[in-house]
Amino acid sequence: MTVINETRGGLITPSYPTVNYITNSRLSVISRGVLAEIGTRVSSDTWTGTDCTLTTVSADQGAEYMVYTRSITRTGGDVQYKTSNPFAVVSGMLHRLSLYVKDSNARTYSVTLTNAAGDVTYDTTFGVPTANFTTFTLSVIPTEDTMVIKIGRHSSAADAGTMEFKDVRLYRVEPIISSGTYGADGHTKTSTLIVQRYVNDATRLNTLYGLKLTKGSNDTEYYSLTNRTDQEWLKMFQGKDVSLGCHVYAEQADNARLEIADGVAGITGSMAPATTLSWLNLSYGVAANATVLQPRIALTGNTGDVTYISNPILIPGRGIAEGRIFPPPGEIIMLDAALFDNRHGPSGFGGQDVSSVDWNTINLESDCQGKIPKGVRSILLAVAAKDSGSAAAECYLAFRRDSTTDLDLIVSPGGLPNSLKSYASGWLRVDPDDLTCQYKVVASGSATFNKGEWRILGVMY
């Protein structure tokens, strides 16, 4: 570990708790990101069929994907399955499955993801195909290092139609922001800089989560560790000493350094050495007439140069001893953009009216496409629900962490005019290790409960 200390008056290790003023210093919450691939995608052209025949239809897009389009034709059973050979995956990390599917008879299909032995199910979901190829995607976090894909066609006994599928792809994913000035929540960036969350790499990161910064321009680009410009923020620092520290791993020399800008003068640190995880820190006396306070990473290299950052810290005073300051416990991060649970967003429960559902476990990390990270203990949830028979019956949607905890949140349209929405919001505890919680639906009748809209507005550690 390289340590580069650039402080005025020497290094200070506080003997009292010191606040880290950087919001989202874990660099883990990235609500405006979209999922992007990490590593090599895997594919399979080897499938086995149950109660069906598998036929090669036509050549497809080449070896990077499935080489052929396959069709599944019924030979028996009300459900016909096609099953892949096992894929190698990374246990505990977010993966995305995608494929194209079509069926002229529009029979419901299911996609089930299991371990190689088939005795652990990671996820199951359903869809209804059309006569033309449409894309199906599913995000999942496996608990073992293998995954098998099982695709089922659900048909009646008299149905002799076929379903076709192609381009089955499975790959690691993490959120990425390729354009605009938003970074991880609470941060900003130069619009051309590409920001991707990075996970569990002891060579490049000092913590579980960090950011991979890829230059999109030959010009100097900046990753600012705050988006605050309000007077309260500025008044805390005018005329005072502050110190900025961060773990930095630069793939190229002369590419990354720390800076503090205050609109008057500012300070620039030394360049991070190449291919070495380094703790950089510098201190600065903020001008009494400062107009901004912006702790940031300056990226001065060429297009495509890559730097990894983790554990950024901003504190009052001079100097930060590595590993002595931590993110505040109970930190609340209000999201830059409200998140919709991927299955229970604006279209309700998969777009379908539902009957009563007993306690059902959901995984927020996969259902929110990785934008809610491990370690979160509560989410701020806003919910809307309605029921077509609410006027004369009890009906509600309830949430809890698990079977050992009480209810945290309930929304009840019961007693309201039929189909009138009811709203509720509050903090919902979740399991910080696997980001699971549970919900329950009590409906007035069969397929009467609808519009279960879930918006996540903030998270708490």
Give tens-digit pLDDT for 271-291. Answer: 999 999 999 989 999 999 999
Token code pair at residue 253 = 């020399």
Strand-pairing partners, residue 437, are 362
CA nearest neighbour of 266 among 298, 308, 310: 298
Tell me the pLDDT tens digit for each residue of 73-120: 878 778 888 888 888 888 878 888 888 888 888 888 888 888 888 888
Higher pLDDT, 357 or 16: 357
Band (216; pLDDT cuts 50, 70, 90): very high
- Tell me what percent of the residues of the chain surpass a pLDDT of 90: 42
Pick the range with the lowest mean pLDDT from 49-53, 257-261, 395-399: 49-53
> Higher-confidence residue: 299 or 109?
299
196 in Cβ contact with 174 (< 8 Å): yes
Say if residue 14's pLDDT is above 60. no
What is the reported pLDDT for 384?
87
Q: Band of the pLDDT at 64, cuts 50, 70, 90?
A: very low
Query: Distance of CA 319 to CAs 11, 316, 372, Å?
Result: 5, 9, 32
- How confident is the model at residue 398, as a pLDDT? 93
List of residues 6+ apart from 186 with CB closer than 8 A: 22, 23, 24, 226, 227, 228, 333, 336
The residue that leads in pLDDT, 452 or 21, is 21
Mean pLDDT of 408-413: 93
Q: How far apart are CA 362 and CA 359, in angstroms?
A: 10
d(C-alpha 221, C-alpha 214), whole Å: 10
Is the confidence at residue 442, as pLDDT, over 90? Answer: yes
Higher pLDDT, 261 or 78: 261
Phi, psi of 200 (to 5 degrees): 55, 55
pLDDT (average), residues 186-195: 95
DSSP string, 145-181: SEEEEEEEEE--TT---EEEEEEEEEEEEEEEE-SSS
- The confidence score (pLDDT) of residue 24 equals 93
Domains of the chain: 2-8+16-32+182-316 (2.60.120.260), 39-175 (2.60.120.200), 332-460 (2.60.120)
Q: Which two tokens stand for residue 351?
A: 């777009």
State residue 160's pLDDT score.
67
Q: Confidence class of residue 397 from pLDDT cuts 50, 70 and 90? A: very high
Average pLDDT over residues 28-35: 88
Cβ atoms 238, 286 nearer than 8 A: yes
CA count, 13 A, side-chain hemisphere, 215: 23
Closest alpha carbon to 242 in 299, 313, 331: 313
pLDDT band at 20 (very low <50, low <70, confident <90, very high): confident
Are 167 and 100 in contact by the 8 Å Cβ rule? The answer is yes
Task: Give the mean pLDDT of 127-141.
Answer: 82
pLDDT digit string (tens) for 148-171? 888 888 877 666 678 888 778 788
Mean local confidence (pLDDT), 357-370: 83
- Residue 225 pLDDT level (bands cut at 50, 70, 90): very high
Q: Which residues, at least 6 apart from 67, have a Cβ–Cβ distance to it below 8 Å?
A: 45, 59, 60
Residue range 388-392: average pLDDT?
92
Residues 38-77: b if buried by 16+ CB within 10 A, e if exposed: beebbbeeebebeebeeeeeeebeeeebbeebbbbebeee
- How far is it, in rounded angstroms, from Cα 268 to Cα 54? 63
Give the pLDDT band (50/70/90) at residue 29: very high
Which residue matches tokens 């979740």? 430
Residue with tokens 């006027």: 391
**Mean pLDDT score across all residues of the chain:** 84
What residue has token string 């590409």? Answer: 194
pLDDT of residue 67: 44
Pick from 156, 151, 50: which is nearest to 106 by CA? 156
DSSP assignment string, 26-47? T----TT-EEEEEEEEE----E
Q: Rounded to two decimals, what is the model's pTM?
A: 0.80
Examine the pLDDT at 15 and tell me if it is beyond 60.
no
Confidence (pLDDT) at 40: 61
Averaged pLDDT, 306-333: 82
The pLDDT confidence band at residue 63, using thresholds 50, 70 and 90, is very low
Q: What is the pLDDT of residue 2?
A: 61
pLDDT for 184: 94
Contact present, 142 and 148 (Cβ < 8 Å): no
Question: Is 70 exceeded by the pLDDT of residue 358?
Answer: yes
The amino acid at residue 228 is R
Q: How far is CA 297 from its chain centroid? A: 23
Checking if the pLDDT of 236 tops 50, the result is: yes
